[in-house]
A and B are shown apart, each in its own frame.
Chain A
Amino acid sequence: MSDIVSRVAPPPPSTGDKAKFYGLWIAAAVLLIVLPKIFTSQASFTTFSLIGISIIFALSYNILLGQTGMLSFGHAVYYGLGGFLAIHAINIIGAHKWAIPLPVVPLIGGITGLVFAMLLGWVSTQRSGTAFAMISLGVAELVASSALILRTFFGGEGGVSANRTKLFRLFDWSFGPQIQIYYLVAAWTLICMIAMYALTRTPWGRMCNAVRDNPERVQFVGYDPHVVRYIAFCFAGFFAGIAGALAAINFEIANSAYLGAVQSGTVLFSTYIGGVGFFIGPVVGAIFVTLLSLGLSDLTSVWQLYFGLFFILVVAFAPGGITGLLMMHRPLIRGGTLGKVIPSYLVAIVPTLALLIGLMLGIECIVHHTMNATEDPNIKAFGIPFNAASPLTWGIAAILIVGGGFVARMTWKRVAVAWDDALTAARAKEMA
Chain B
Amino acid sequence: MTVKPNAIEIRDVQKSFGITSVIRDLNLQVVEGERHALIGPNGAGKSTTFNLISGYMAPTSGDVLMRGEKISGLPPYQINRRGLSRSFQVTNVFGNMTVWENLRCAVLWATGHKYAFWKNVNNLPQVRERTAQILEDIGLTSRREVPAGLLTYAEQRALEIGITVAGGANVILLDEPTAGMSHAETERAVTLIRRLTEGRTLLIVEHDMSVVFGLADRISVLVYGHVIASGTPEEIRNNPKVREAYLGEEAA
Q: State yes or no: do A and B come from one complex.
A: yes
| Chain A positions near chain B (C-beta within 8 angstroms) | 1, 4-5, 8-10, 12-13, 198-199, 201-207, 209-210, 212-214, 216-224, 227-228, 231, 235
- If A8-B135, A10-B144 are given as contacts, then 19 extra A-B residue pairs at C-beta distance below 8 Å, sorted by A number, are A5-B129, A9-B128, A10-B100, A201-B121, A201-B122, A202-B116, A202-B120, A203-B115, A205-B121, A209-B97, A210-B101, A210-B105, A212-B96, A216-B92, A217-B163, A219-B75, A222-B109, A222-B110, A231-B117
Of A13, A214, A223, the contact of B93 (CB 8 Å cutoff): A214
Q: Which among B96, B115, B124 is the interface contact of A227 at CB below 8 angstroms?
A: B115
Interfacial chain A residues near B118, Cβ < 8 Å: 202
B interface, size bucket: 35 or more
Chain B 44-70 interface mask (CB, 8 Å, partner A; 1/0): 000000000011000000000000000
A224 to B128, CA, bound (A): 22
Q: Are B77 and A224 touching (Cβ within 8 A)?
A: yes
The chain B residue with its CB closest to the CB of A13 is B122
- Whether the pair B116, A203 counts as a contact (CB closer than 8 A) is yes
Give the CA-CA distance A223 to B80 in the complex, in Å.
9
Residues of A within 8 A of B120 (CB): 198, 201-202
Cβ-defined contact, A4 with B94, below 8 A: no
Across-interface contacts of A8 in B (CB, < 8 A): 132, 135-136, 141, 144
With an 8 A cutoff between CB atoms, is B167 at the interface? yes
Partner of A213, one of B97, B131, B136: B97
Q: Can you offer 22 A-B residue contacts whose CB atoms are under 8 A?
A: A8-B135, A8-B141, A9-B129, A9-B131, A10-B128, A10-B144, A203-B114, A204-B117, A205-B121, A207-B108, A210-B105, A213-B97, A216-B92, A217-B94, A218-B77, A219-B55, A221-B108, A221-B166, A222-B110, A223-B77, A224-B75, A228-B115
Report A200 CB to chain B, min CB distance, Å: 9
**Which residue of chain B lies nearest to A216 when distances are taken between CB atoms in the complex?**
B92
A198 to B120, CA, bound (A): 8
B95 in contact with A202 (CB, 8 Å) = no
Q: How many angstroms between the C-alpha atoms of A1 and B105 in the bound complex?
A: 21
Chain B contacts for A214, CB-based, 8 A = 92-95
Q: Is the CB of A210 within 8 A of B141?
A: no
Q: Are A219 and B76 in contact (CB under 8 A)?
A: yes
Q: Are B76 and A220 in contact (CB under 8 A)?
A: yes
State whether A203 and B92 are in contact (beta carbons under 8 Å apart), knowing that A9-B132, A210-B105, A221-B109 are contacts in the complex. no
Contact B119 A203 (CB under 8 A): yes
Does residue B106 face the partner (Cβ distance < 8 Å to A)?
A: yes
9 smallest A-B Cβ distances: which pairs? A222-B109, A9-B132, A213-B94, A219-B76, A203-B113, A204-B117, A221-B106, A8-B132, A210-B105
Please give the residue numbers on chain B whose beta carbons come within 8 Å of chain A beta carbons, in ascending order. Answer: 54-55, 75-77, 80-81, 85-86, 88, 92-97, 100-101, 104-106, 108-110, 113-124, 127-129, 131-133, 135-136, 141, 144, 163-164, 166-167
Q: Is the CB of B80 within 8 A of A221?
A: yes
How far in angstroms is the closest Cβ of chain B from A239? 13
CA distance A280 to B28 in the complex (A): 53
Query: For B166, what are the chain A residues with a Cβ–Cβ distance below 8 Å?
Result: 221
Out of A9, A203, A216, A222, which one reaches B121, CB within 8 Å? A203
- A223 to B85 CA separation, bound complex (whole angstroms): 12
Residues of the B chain whose Cβ atoms lie less than 8 Å from the Cβ of A216:
92
* CB-CB under 8 A for A206 and B115, given A13-B122, A219-B75: no
A70 to B109, CA, bound (A): 23
**Which residue of B has the minimal Cβ distance to A206?**
B121
Q: Pick the contact of B86 from A202, A205, A220 — CB < 8 Å?
A: A220
Chain B proximity of A427: nearest CB distance (Å): 13
CB-based contact A202/B76 at 8 Å: no
Of listed A213, A219, A221, A224, residue having the most chain B CB within 10 A:
A221
Contact A5 B133 (CB under 8 A): yes
Query: Which residues from chain A contact B122 at a C-beta distance below 8 Å?
Result: 12-13, 201
The CA-CA distance from A220 to B110 in the complex, in Å, is 12
Q: Which residues of B contact A209 (CB under 8 A)?
A: 94, 96-97, 101
On chain B, the residues within 8 Å of A212 by CB distance are 96
Asked whether A231 lies within 8 Å of B115 as measured between CB atoms, the reply is yes
A204 in contact with B167 given A12-B123, A213-B97, A217-B94 (CB within 8 Å):
no
Which residues of B are found within 8 Å of A201, using beta-carbon distances?
120-122
Closest B residue to A11 by CB, please name it: B128
A228 to B94, CA, bound (A): 15
Give CA–CA (A285, B133) in the complex, Å: 40
What is the minimal beta-carbon distance from A79 to any residue of chain B, in angstroms?
A: 22
Collect the chain B residues with CB atoms within 8 Å of residue A205's CB: 117, 121
Give Cα A12–Cα B125 distance, bound, in whole angstroms: 9
